[in-house]
Amino acid sequence: MILRQARSSGMWGMQVDNSPPPDRYVEEGEDITFGDVSLKVLHTPGHSGGGISLVTDKMAFVGDTLFAGSIGRTDFPGGDYEGLLRNVREKIFSLGDEVVIYPGHGPKTTVGRERRTNPFFV
């Protein structure tokens, strides 16, 4: 899955180089620390097969798993609509209503706002 960028982008008329292979893979529950910052890895596939979110007690970086008022696409190879919904409900929504969500693009939001108003979950 990792070395598919050139082929996938070609479908959209773009040319990009493939990403280099990863140095290592991260595991569910692992802490990634740099400087004074520590982020916990949550395995949140759905938008893509290997999707992760990186969380602290006050914020979550969720990529294209969850957006303000929406969710990530699941129609690409490796996507899983039911899996994405389950991972948001079980892992992201359990972080606490005040946790700020930083999606891959678009405005930030909070767990509470999405749990109460996101049309995919209400």
The CATH number of the domain where 48 resides is what?
3.60.15.10
Distance of CA 71 to the CA centre of its chain: 10
Q: Is the model's pLDDT at 38 over the cut of 50?
A: yes
Average model confidence (pLDDT) across the chain: 92
Q: Is the model's pLDDT at 69 over the cut of 60?
A: yes
101 assigned to some structural domain: yes
28 assigned to some structural domain: yes
Q: Please say whether the beta carbons of 95 and 113 come within 8 A.
A: no
Least confident piece of the model among 17-21, 33-37, 74-78, 84-88: 17-21
- Domain count for the chain: 1
9: enclosing H helix or E strand: helix 5-10
14 assigned to some structural domain: no
3 assigned to some structural domain: no
87 assigned to some structural domain: yes
86 assigned to some structural domain: yes
Distance of CA 23 to the CA centre of its chain: 20
DSSP summary character for residue 105: S
Residue type, 115: R
Residue type, 88: V
- Residue 50's domain spans which residues? 24-117
Total-model pTM:
0.87
Locate 109 and state its tokens.
Answer: 């939001």
Interatomic CA distance for residues 60 and 6, integer angstroms:
29
Helix (H, G, I), strand (E, B) or coil at 55: strand
31 assigned to some structural domain: yes
18 assigned to some structural domain: no
